């Protein structure tokens, strides 16, 4: 059985079904309708969620609290002769402050996300981390 089934409902409406959970996500074309998640938005959500999941898995094993963390993700389309995602910008914001060694370990954990490492080598992925009240962050 497939993990995800995407169905065309008509009138530029699509639905993605997670066959394990039964959850549905409406999908449409961001360039025409733009009322639901588009494929690029779902991809951005996948990268951000995977990085947060990877970071949190490490945090839980090391008794660190990353509650309230969130990822801001932007994808950029381009490319010739075929349109594709050429860049992904991720900013991970964690409200808590950590010692430098823990912060570096959390960043490495987030960077280990398998989704992030599934793109072509010429897809630029820029990651920025902000901890506590450090709005400048670092890469």
- Pair 21, 48 in one domain: no
Query: Residue 2 sits in which domain range?
Result: 1-37
- Pair 65, 33 in one domain: no
The number of CA neighbours under 13 Å toward the Cβ of 29 is 8
Q: Which residue has the higher pLDDT, 137 or 50?
A: 50
Q: The domain spanning residue 67 has which CATH number?
A: 3.30.300.20
Q: What is the pLDDT of residues 66-125, one digit of tens each?
A: 999 999 999 999 988 888 999 999 999 999 999 999 999 999 999 999 999 999 999 999
Query: Residue 2: its pLDDT value, please?
Result: 84
Q: What is the pLDDT of residues 7-35, one digit of tens each?
A: 998 888 899 999 999 999 999 887 777 78
Which pTM was predicted? 0.88
């Amino acid at each position: 059985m497939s993990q995800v089934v995407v169905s065309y409902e008509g009138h530029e409406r699509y639905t993605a079904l997670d066959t394990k959970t039964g959850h549905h996500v409406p999908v449409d074309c961001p360039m025409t309708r733009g009322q639901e998640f588009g494929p690029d938005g779902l991809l951005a959500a996948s990268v951000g969620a995977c990085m947060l999941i990877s970071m949190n898995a490490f945090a839980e094993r090391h008794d660190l609290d990353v509650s309230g963390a969130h990822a801001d993700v932007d994808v950029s389309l381009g490319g010739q002769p075929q349109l594709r995602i050429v860049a992904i910008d991720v900013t991970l914001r964690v409200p808590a402050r950590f010692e430098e060694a823990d912060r570096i370990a959390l960043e490495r954990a987030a960077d280990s996300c398998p989704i992030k490492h599934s793109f072509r080598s010429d897809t630029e992925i820029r990651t920025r981390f902000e901890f506590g009240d450090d709005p400048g962050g670092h890469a």
